[in-house]
């Protein structure tokens, strides 16, 4: 029977990819200063985060928040062992990303035709054609590719998504050299059974794929899905500081699972991430203060399980 817990010391490391600077900030109406974006990434690198989706080389007209992608990349303090990924939609974006010296290029295609049209203004086949066009650019510069499948666990317009569509997208990614595959819970519709059947279907067809899971907490079971992913042997997850984010093209979609809450869960279950959880929570509190509103993250508010409190000053029941 699959276990939630690491089977051996070699099985303990889980790679956490921080996506807040891209996925978390992209829908914010007020422009986040370039220095703030890069400064947060630098603080998270200092806290031990090794993998980031740092920015997106999309059209500034389409996503104004990402208009400073090259400037953000230039201000990040690079360290060995840290991977900076950027989202790219087409060949022009790939050339800009290569010039900015990204460590990995990511592309996403929705498994739902309707969401693909809403999000990219293209069909699935059209979006895959764009990927096939820019993949050689990444190869030319020796930059690895990541292929993401959006709405991999359900679509708010179509309901259940076709496993055939998912397998077709993954197969195209692999055909063009992207071994890293992210399954995106874009609209928070994932449940453990849906995650299991999707991961197992991909592994049965494409065992060479390196799977990462990207969950949202729309219906409150994001971390339950992580536990299920751990039992399936998945050791890569994407999350956002403070639980910030949400797809602007998906009705009712709320934020990503929270990075601090995810890391707390992993550490409590015996996994290693290389991340200083206290420092991570400090960065999340900085983000919350900067945003000027309460964010969904819980660990940054409550602290660890064994955090002790003095009785002095605590309200007591009397009488």
Confirm if 53 and 106 have CB atoms less than 8 A apart: yes
Q: Indicate if 247 belongs to the active site.
A: yes
Classify residue 121 as exposed, middle or buried by CB count within 10 Å of its CB (0-12, 13-18, 19+).
exposed
Cβ count within 10 A of residue 268:
10
Contacts for 242 with CB less than 8 Å, ≥ 6 apart: 20, 24, 255, 258, 259, 260, 284, 287, 288, 291, 295, 296, 297, 300
Structure tokens at 275: 């991340």
Q: Which residue of the set 107, 116, 155, 247 is catalytic?
A: 247
Contacts for 97 with CB less than 8 Å, ≥ 6 apart: 57, 69, 86, 88, 105, 143
d(CA 254, CA 243): 9
Q: Measured at the alpha carbon of residue 147, what is the angle toward residues 146 and 152, in degrees to the nearest 5?
A: 135
Contacts for 233 with CB less than 8 Å, ≥ 6 apart: 2
What residues act catalytically?
Answer: 247
């Amino acid at each position: 029977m699959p276990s939630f817990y690491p089977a051996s010391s070699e099985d303990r490391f889980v790679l956490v990819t921080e996506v807040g600077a891209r996925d978390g900030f992209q829908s914010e109406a007020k422009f986040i200063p370039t220095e703030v974006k890069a400064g947060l990434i630098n603080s998270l690198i200092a806290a031990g985060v090794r993998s980031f989706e740092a920015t997106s080389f999309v059209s500034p007209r389409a996503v104004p928040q990402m208009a400073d992608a090259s400037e953000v990349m230039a201000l990040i303090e690079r360290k060995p062992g840290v991977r900076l990924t950027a989202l790219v939609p087409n060949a022009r974006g790939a050339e800009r990303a290569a010039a900015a010296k990204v460590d990995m290029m990511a592309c996403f295609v929705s498994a739902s035709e309707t969401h693909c049209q809403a999000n990219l203004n293209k069909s699935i086949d059209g979006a895959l054609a764009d990927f096939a066009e820019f993949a050689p650019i990444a190869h030319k510069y020796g930059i690895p590719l990541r292929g993401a499948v959006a709405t991999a666990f359900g679509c708010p317009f179509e309901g259940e998504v076709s496993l055939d569509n998912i397998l077709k997208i993954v197969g195209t990614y692999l055909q063009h050299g992207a071994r890293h595959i992210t399954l995106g819970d874009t609209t928070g519709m994932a449940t453990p059974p849906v995650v299991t059947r999707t991961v197992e279907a991909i592994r049965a067809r494409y065992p060479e794929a390196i799977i990462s899971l990207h969950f949202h907490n729309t219906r409150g079971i994001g971390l339950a899905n992580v536990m299920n992913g751990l039992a399936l042997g998945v050791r890569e997850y994407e999350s956002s500081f403070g639980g910030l984010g949400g797809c602007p093209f998906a009705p009712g979609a709320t934020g990503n699972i929270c990075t601090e809450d995810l890391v707390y869960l992993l550490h409590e279950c015996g996994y290693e991430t290389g991340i200083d959880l206290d420092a991570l929570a400090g960065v999340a509190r900085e983000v919350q203060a900067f945003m000027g509103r309460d964010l969904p993250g819980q660990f940054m508010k409550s602290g660890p399980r064994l955090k002790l409190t003095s009785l002095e000053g605590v309200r007591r029941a009397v009488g």
